[in-house]
Amino acid sequence: MQFFKDFLGLFYPNLCINCTRNLLKNETIVCTFCNNDLPLIEISNIRKNQISEVFYGKISIHSAVGLLYFRKGNSTQKLIHKLKYENRQDVGSFLGNWFGRELHENTQFSSVDHIIPVPLHKKRLKKRGYNQLTTFGTALSYQLKTSYTPNILIKTVTNKTQTLKNRFDRFDTADPKFKLTDYEYLENKHVLLIDDIITTGATIEFCCIELLKVKNIKISIATIAFTERT
């Protein structure tokens, strides 16, 4: 059945990613029914919420926001999977425009100077052919009227054992993982670091350790999806 659906998708790309119903002319990515059913994250305080709490006491961030809850088998997982592994980069544009319109109403985000994606290692980038955050970040920057700055933060080491290492190891500066190509460029700037899913927050933490080497930088975080604590 799944094969049949995938097969159909080749010829009829205008199917809802979640339920594979035919999309109407005014619908994109998901049908209205599934769209209304997406597990939206309600955030009333962008400075203090369940996402910012992940980083509390670890790194200093200004604010943290997320669009959708990620749970095993839910519609968010399907969206992210399509975006990440099936080259459906239009999913990123859809989510970026949506999130951007919401964040635009919040004055805290009007001061963002640069949107920076969590980078992929160049080997991974070559294999996948794209960074899954490119269309999301571009759409977000368009809505927030700010610049998308993808190549300033690079990944230097592939992470195989990252999650197994303890906290002290992760702060070992001899093994930086993420590196900025230009520190001065971000001085006194408000940076919005974006990722697709935040679970433990370790990747974001690594990026922030590097970003916080910049003088007077302000970091906010926006993620497409967030895995709720259980």
If binding is defined by CB under 5 A, does position 91 make contact with Zn ion? no
Q: Which of residues 11-40 bind Zn ion (CB under 5 A)?
A: 16, 18-19, 21, 31, 34
**Between the CA of residue 62 and those of 8, 97, 169, what are the distances in Å?**
45, 22, 25
The nearest distance, CB 19 to Zn ion, in angstroms, is 3
The nearest distance, CB 82 to Zn ion, in angstroms, is 13
Sign of CA dihedral 216, 97, 13, 223: positive
The nearest distance, CB 42 to Zn ion, in angstroms, is 22
Q: Binding marks (x or -) toward Zn ion, 98..137, rule CB under 5 A? A: ----------------------------------------
Binding residues for Zn ion, rule CB under 5 A, total 6
C-beta closer to Zn ion: residue 34 or 202:
34
Footprint of Zn ion (CB under 5 A) = 16, 18-19, 21, 31, 34
